[in-house]
Structure 1
Amino acid sequence: MYMKKGEFAFGVGRINPMKAIELGLVYEALKEDYIKCFVALTLGRVCKDVKGSQKDLNYPSMQALIESGKSFTDEFSRTVTNVGPVGSTYKAKVITVSHINVSVKPSALSFRSSGEKNSFVVTVSGKGLPIKIRVSASIMWSDGTHNVRSPIVVYTNEA
């Protein structure tokens, strides 16, 4: 079944200040990253020398606009920084529907120190999604105490 609201059905929920100060992992995006993304979005349509896209922004969420009815594969490279305990290992759990395939490599990230960075690649693939559809998935990184959720949305426009 295709999701009507999917990732957009989540509310802000209740804020727990004690949990908010113990994040575990963070996605960092610098000012330069936003500028590069903006330039790619605005100038990339007219200037083929401009590299990058909004999917390159090191942000927890990932989205892919795909062509309806066709096979697709999209990759998202992300880097997280450990702000939690030293010596922690986070394992990825993929939550998805049967219409898309999601894989994470590596599927576990180990941190020996606070402030250490680790990178991973998320691959999203599938085929034949109908016109005007949105499919949701997510990745949950967990060390047994901290849970860091990264939403994924794949959608099609009109033909």
Structure 2
Amino acid sequence: MDGDRPAGLFALGAGHVNPERAINPGLIYDIQPDEYITHLCTLGYSRSDIFSITHRNVSCHDVLQKNRGFSLNYPSFSVIFRAGDRRKMMKRRVTNVGRPNSIYSLEMKAPEGVSMRVRPRRLIFKRTNQTLSYRVWFVSKRRMEDKNTRFAEGYLTWVERSSSYRVQSPISVTWTSTK
């Protein structure tokens, strides 16, 4: 890890791996260790399962109460619209590991049947290792009249034009008729 970055942070990516670009990715999605515990709770892991992984005694009830609307800070998005759901919001954090004074602009392709809004639409980094957040709102334009599950895919990409960084996040949307 870089000496300027706090210990205990993990970097993840999504998509095709290009070894030359992997060395200098531009942006990374850091995840704190405690966020993995919250994620295990959202997946329904039991207290003993989590203890066997983390060696920590965790109350998922308490963790989930403190972290309502939690979404793992992962580079990809998985959106599930269940019966009655029309809107979802997800927040992500990215850390600039590229050049200082970098400006990333948004390119996106919304999944079919979904409208998307991303705020902010530009990420302006003044320094290396600076972290900024963005939010994505997904709005389903489909009605669930039938009982079939439907799928759609899209992406959003942060582009830094002066350095040719392109950080793409795949989006997968599922509609299901079950609550």
Name the % identity: 26
The equivalent of 2:160 in structure 1 is 143
Pair 1:121-2:135 in alignment: yes
The equivalent of 1:63 in structure 2 is 78
Normalising by structure 2, we get a TM-score of 0.71
User: How many pairs were matched up?
Assistant: 144
Listed one character per residue, the Cα deviations across residues 27-77 of structure 1 (whole Å, up to 9, x for unaligned) are: 001211010111233279xx7653347851111111122125x45110001
Higher RCO (CA-CA < 8 Å; seq separation 6+): 1
Kept in 2, the 8 Å contact 1:102–1:125? The answer is yes
SS at match of 1:115: coil
Q: Distance in 2 between matches of 1:98 and 1:42?
A: 30
The RMSD of aligned alpha carbons is 2.4
The equivalent of 1:24 in structure 2 is 26
Kept in 2, the 8 Å contact 1:97–1:136? The answer is yes
More deviation, 122-131/143-152: 122-131
- Flag the 1:39–1:67 CA change in 2: closer, same or farther, 3 A: closer
Kept in 1, the 8 Å contact 2:112–2:152? The answer is no
Give the CA deviation at 1:93.
Answer: 1.0
More deviation, 49-58/33-42: 49-58
Normalising by structure 1, we get a TM-score of 0.79
Q: Distance in 1 between matches of 2:174 and 2:68?
A: 17
Structure 1: which 5+ runs fail to align? 1-11
SS at match of 1:147: strand
